[in-house]
Amino acid sequence: MHIFIDKLVAEHQFKTTDLLAILRAIQARYHYIPSSAITHVAKILALPATHIIGVIEFYSFFHLHPQGDYEILISDSITDAMLGKAALIDLLSKKLHVAVGTVRDDGLVSLANTSCTGLCDQGPAGLVNGHPLTQLTPERIDLIVTLIHQHLPVEDWPAELFAITDNIKKTDVLLTQPMPLGSALTAACTRGFTETLAEIERSGLRGRGGAGFKTAMKWQFCREEHADTRYVICNADEGEPGTFKDRVLLNQYAHQVFEGMTVAAAIVGATQGFLYLRGEYSFLYEKLSSILHARREAGLLGENILGQGFSFTIKICLGAGAYICGEESALIESLEGNMGIPRNRPPYPVTHGYLGKPTIVNNVETFLAAAHIALHGSADFANIGTQQSKGTKILSICGDCLHPGIYEFAFGTTIKDILEACGATDVLGVQIGGPSGTFISAQEVERRLAFEDLATGGSFIIFNQTRNILDSVTNFTHFFAHESCGFCTPCRVGTSLLKQQIDKIVEGHGSAGDIVALEELCQLVKSQSHCGLGQTAANPILSTLERYPELYQRLLKKISYEPGFDLNGALATARRLTQRDDAAAHLAQLGEDYE
């Protein structure tokens, strides 16, 4: 093992910033990070072992204890649940003789849930040793079980199990016009980089991750900082459940995204860029690497790009299963080889980012749009959309509709038109912007896709009338509790309390005061949390409580107080110890007798 690790760490030039990549390789080889590996890596990298343990315990894809030779993870997104995930994971569990969340005794296989894998338009989905499984069916489960019992390496499994389609259903200005290799960069050079920045400003481009900060302003801030080094980071940690557009953009439009990054680098004066790719998308790594290679060969990356005297390289870094790393400062921490904990701000990344240097972090789609604007100018982009939201937005549409997939819509399009385009009927409501966004009911479909009305990073999940809204609320609330980084008290404890409180109500243990308590807790977590995760974790509850108070009220018992647990069940141990099972040894849940 030491020889393997020595070689691995040397390949990473003994950089502590590469810790995640090093741990990914060890995890892939041994299906966990053995303690001897921790000690050895700590020694060579001169890091405290506790730092490495901290990182391992932070990311879902690293383990201190052995996982199966076949590590199976099934996507726990609401969209997978709507496609029948629960029955499929039960089937897998039964056929493989392994309980969910455990490793089989012989160590052959482990099975667990994982947060949304970004394959919502072709679910139920999952991962086996990091390889994506799509469109799972009972038949496919049978096949997988057989392959595992044959001990066939995952690399030799039939390709159809891993087939991923892009499902691009509607294109507009960004996805229609083909962009010749290097054309945006050439145009930016010809125009001049200062003038290109002005062009981006005129285009009105705002960050496509969801928050909508003005792109040109961010670049301008970074550019103005006095520093010897600056960085450009592309945020491809697409973790918001229901979002998968960046996966498609990187699969089909990677050149354009990299070109946008290169234009950004030329504008702000950066020489190093990073693509932070979520661990779930590791299957894109080889393809993206070869595209980077091709760009270097074409003189579009590397030294003296296009003979203009500036240099820029892009490195791809993989995440390891942590939604929080989509938050820009947590992403930077992760890139530095740390736990993905959002930083205290100020200072902001534009002044103190990666390794303390000025850094811009933008979404995949933002760089794609920037390349488009660099090539075509701002006019055609700025003419689309609304006054405050220029251009188009690329949506990942999934859930109850005939044609899930990728859609490019002009900002300002009504939700009604979007629902029509994707073949959604009998709509109950739409979750816009994922769990951290807003739920709107079918009465609100005249509202518009725009930063000033309904903003989204891309997630667009449709629910029809057969769905129970509280299923999604419960799923989302559990998701946030699972993904909270645990740094600040209101989110660490608050998201777990929200989970308990919503479960209490949904399981029928709620009473009169519980909705008020829930709402109070929501406001506290929202207003007091350190970062966007905590600040939006209560949104699923708040936005449905506002629209469907009766859904919640209906579940309450008509008593003033109900304990949050099964009273009679809690006495089971006492009954066993006293060997009693008579009527007096049982207690009715308070109040049931009064109804």
Partner 1 sequence: MNKTLSIDGQEIPFEDGQTIMQAATAAKVYIPHLCHHPEFTPHGSCKLCTVKVNGRNCSACTFPAAEGQEVLNNTTDINEDRKKITQMLFVEGNHFCPSCEKTGNCQLQAVAYHLNMLDNHFPLFYPQRAMDASHPEVLIDHNRCIFCTLCVRASQEQDGKNVFALSGRGINKHLIVNTPSGKLKDSALVADDRAAHICPTGAILIKRTGYTIPIGQRIYDHHDISDVSLTTAEAQHDH
Applying CB under 8 A, which residues contact partner 1? Answer: 35, 39, 48-51, 53-54, 57-59, 322, 339, 344, 346, 481-490, 492-497, 500, 521, 524, 527-530, 564
Q: Which is nearer to partner 1, 120 or 485 (CB)?
A: 485
d(C-alpha 505, C-alpha 503), whole Å: 5
User: Minimal CA–CA distance to 364: which of 412, 431, 314?
Assistant: 314
* Residue 551 DSSP SS3: helix
Q: Which is nearer to partner 1, 52 or 424 (CB)?
A: 52
Select 239 or 412, whichever has its Cβ closest to partner 1. 239
Nearer to partner 1, 49 or 217 (CB): 49
Residue 571 beta carbon to partner 1: minimum distance, rounded to whole angstroms: 16
Pair 392, 173: CB distance under 8 Å: yes
Cβ 566 to partner 1 shortest distance, Å: 13
Q: How far is the CB of 404 from partner 1 (least distance, A)?
A: 30
CA–CA distances in Å: residue 343 to residues 199, 200, 383: 32, 28, 37
- At 510 the three-state DSSP class reads coil
Phi-psi region at 434: left, alpha or beta (left = phi > 0; alpha = psi -120 to 50) = left
CB 238 within 8 A of CB 321: no
Instruction: Compute the least distance from the CB of residue 321 to partner 1, in Å.
Output: 10
Name which of 301 and 488 has its Cβ closer to partner 1. 488
Reduced to 3 states (helix: H, G, I; strand: E, B; else coil), residue 74 is: strand
Nearer to partner 1, 309 or 346 (CB): 346
Nearer to partner 1, 193 or 323 (CB): 323
Q: Which is nearer to partner 1, 92 or 322 (CB)?
A: 322
Going by C-alpha positions, the residue among 453, 273, 302, 304 that lies closest to residue 370 is: 273
- What's the min distance (Å) between Cβ of 519 and partner 1? 13
Per the DSSP assignment, residues forming a β-bridge with 138 are none
Residue 524 C-beta: closest distance to partner 1, Å: 5
**Closer CB to partner 1, 354 or 487, in the complex:** 487
**Which is closer to partner 1, CB of 48 or CB of 153?**
48
b/e map of 345-378 (b: 16 or more CB within 10 Å)? eeebbbbbbbeebbbbbbbbbbbbbbbbbbbbbb
Shortest distance, position 56 Cβ to partner 1, whole Å: 8
Phi and psi at 385, nearest 5°, equal 95, -160
The identity of residue 527, as a single letter, is S
Shortest separation between residue 223's beta carbon and partner 1, angstroms = 23
Task: Supply the minimum distance, in Å, between the C-beta of residue 493 and partner 1.
Answer: 4
Least distance to partner 1, CB of residue 499, Å: 9
Q: Residue 448 has what DSSP assignment?
A: B
Least separation in angstroms between residue 498's CB and partner 1 is: 11
Q: What is the 3 state secondary structure string of 421-435?
A: HCCCCCEEEEEECCC
Closest CA to 356 of 272, 224, 230: 230
Identify which of residues 41 and 445 has a Cβ nearer to partner 1 in the complex: 41
- Reduce the secondary structure of 203-220 to three states and give it as a string: HCCECCCCCCCEHHHHHH
> How far apart (Å, rounded) are the C-alpha atoms in residues 141 and 147?
10
Q: Provide the token pair at 46.
A: 């001169």
Cβ–Cβ < 8 Å for 427, 435: no
